[in-house]
Amino acid sequence: MSKTKPHTIQHPQENYTAGFRMPERAVFKARKGLNEKIIQQISQHKQEPQWMREFRLQAYALFQKKPMPRWGADLSAIDFSDIYYYLKPTRQSEKRWEDVPSEIKTTFDRLGIPQAERKYLAGVGAQYESEVVYHSLQKHLEKKGVIFVDTDTGLRKYSKIFKKYFGTVVPPGDNKFAALNSAVWSGGSFLYVPQGVHVDLPLQAYFRINAEKMGQFERTLIIAEEGSSVHYVEGCTASTYSSGSLHSAVVEIIVKRGAHVRYTTIQNWAKNVYNLVTKRAVAYQDAVMEWVDGNLGSFKTMKYPSVYLMEPGARAEILSLAFAADGQHQDAGGKVIHVAPHTSSRIISKSISKGTGRTSYRGLLKVHRGATDVKSRVVCDALMFGKYARSDTYPTIKIDELQTQIEHEASVSKIRDEQLFYLTSRGVTEDEARGLIVNGFIEPIVKELPMEYAVELNRLIEMEMEGSVG
């Protein structure tokens, strides 16, 4: 492989192949900015029940009241009045790609979604702006009672189960952006896996922002009944603009007794997107919840997938990978709350910053009183390139129970000259040597990804690393 410009820092956008734009398409677009009227409009368009409309309006009141977070990434430049909160691109969600309007289908073709679906996915949801435009699930899973639809359909068609869980894991008042999402949510996935059903291939949701100054507020609700298992994967990209877009999702997951949920994210937003997401799961007896969270794109990300371990035997695993190139700030990490005894958790965070990029690991590990025999291990490693890159660690550990076993390790490293020298003395170019070291650094997380995503992730990172100065 020949590498160009070995000694210049490349602007990350040069490599962002997903940044292409299509002509804007809307069957309805709400006016810019946010007020009660717009929320009413969204609800009306969706023909929602009264309770949801009230839920939205109450959440909007909370959003107005809640202060902006004064920690984490600098969000002071967000202008809430300069964002479109709802854009409906098509009349309805389709079950066949042929029925999706051609410019939208072309977009997903270019992103490789239908191809991936044919090869290794059990079902796909594709969201464009505010609405899901395509949704599919393999027949045999449908027959077993698995529900995998967009969240609006979930509310309409499965209202009983929907209402039982919606907003119970992340209440609207949780934080300002959870409140915003609760007020204007649209799209996302509703996934229900019945007792004892194992979904053997991953289900994928793909989120795309095409319009300028767009806000995307999908809402995902996953319920894994006793003894079931599922792997849900989400990916996201956006067209590149100079003005900021806002992505603020809420994800709620309920993992019942003995169930196993893995939620994998490859976040590759364009570098003008604020990505402020609340993701939380509750895990019951002997349940396993795993978050594999890869953050490569966006302008600023604040995201800390969390797990509440509610009953004995529950286990949480959070693998977090953050990559901040020039101008980016990835404020990511994970939270585990041990409510019950005999629960265990592991958080592994790997972050890379280069150029003027900044990564922060922000984590919470909390052990409630009475939660005895808890085991937890937190490892965070940071790798930095160049003298302007920055990395910080904010691990919060609150232990109210003495009988626990907690380990915490943190390390920050620069790629050592000696490692580079070793590799170059073998005839490897300096750029390739850096690529090898970085890929080696993130290997513990990449190996947890399905093969196809691992390849994609390695490719993305190699592109970012090309021509960076050590």
Binding site for another protein (CB under 8 A): 416-419, 421-430, 432-433, 436-437, 439-444
Residue pair 10/466 in contact by the 8 Å Cβ criterion: yes
Bridge partner residues of 391 (DSSP): 359
| Closer by beta carbon to another protein, 371 or else 437 | 437
| Side chain identity, residue 18 | A
The minimum distance between CB 458 and another protein, in angstroms, equals 11
Pairing assessment for the beta strands 288-295 and 28-29 based on DSSP bridges: unpaired
| Closer by beta carbon to another protein, 300 or else 350 | 350
Residue 430 backbone phi and psi in degrees, to 5: -60, -40
* Those residues with Cβ within 8 angstroms of residue 417's Cβ, 6 or more apart along the chain or in another chain: 470
The minimum distance between CB 440 and another protein, in angstroms, equals 3
Phi-psi region of 188 (alpha: psi -120 to 50; beta: other; left: phi over 0): left
**From CA 130, how far away is CA 280, in angstroms rounded?**
22
| Closer by beta carbon to another protein, 372 or else 429 | 429
The minimum distance between CB 439 and another protein, in angstroms, equals 7
The minimum distance between CB 416 and another protein, in angstroms, equals 7
| Closer by beta carbon to another protein, 95 or else 416 | 416
The minimum distance between CB 387 and another protein, in angstroms, equals 16
Q: DSSP state, 198?
A: B
The minimum distance between CB 199 and another protein, in angstroms, equals 30
Please compute Rg for the chain using Cα positions. 22
| Closer by beta carbon to another protein, 76 or else 425 | 425
| Closer by beta carbon to another protein, 243 or else 424 | 424
SS3 212: coil
The minimum distance between CB 230 and another protein, in angstroms, equals 29
The minimum distance between CB 411 and another protein, in angstroms, equals 11
Bridge partner residues of 322 (DSSP): 295, 351
The minimum distance between CB 444 and another protein, in angstroms, equals 7
**From CA 252, how far away is CA 261, in angstroms rounded?**
12
Q: Angle at Cα 181 formed by Cα 176 and Cα 184, nearest 5°?
A: 125
The minimum distance between CB 395 and another protein, in angstroms, equals 22
Residue pair 214/244 in contact by the 8 Å Cβ criterion: no
Structure tokens at 346: 């592991």
| Closer by beta carbon to another protein, 364 or else 449 | 449
| Closer by beta carbon to another protein, 64 or else 424 | 424
| Closer by beta carbon to another protein, 291 or else 441 | 441
Listed residue (90, 300, 91, 130) closest to 216, CA to CA: 130
**From CA 430, how far away is CA 424, in angstroms rounded?**
6
125 membership: H or E segment, kind and range: strand 123-128
Listed residue (154, 149, 138) closest to 198, CA to CA: 138
Structure tokens at 90: 């098509």
The minimum distance between CB 459 and another protein, in angstroms, equals 15
Cα–Cα distances (Å) from 372 to 54, 363, 398, in that order, read 41, 21, 14
**From CA 15, how far away is CA 8, in angstroms rounded?**
14
| Closer by beta carbon to another protein, 37 or else 447 | 447
| Closer by beta carbon to another protein, 13 or else 429 | 429
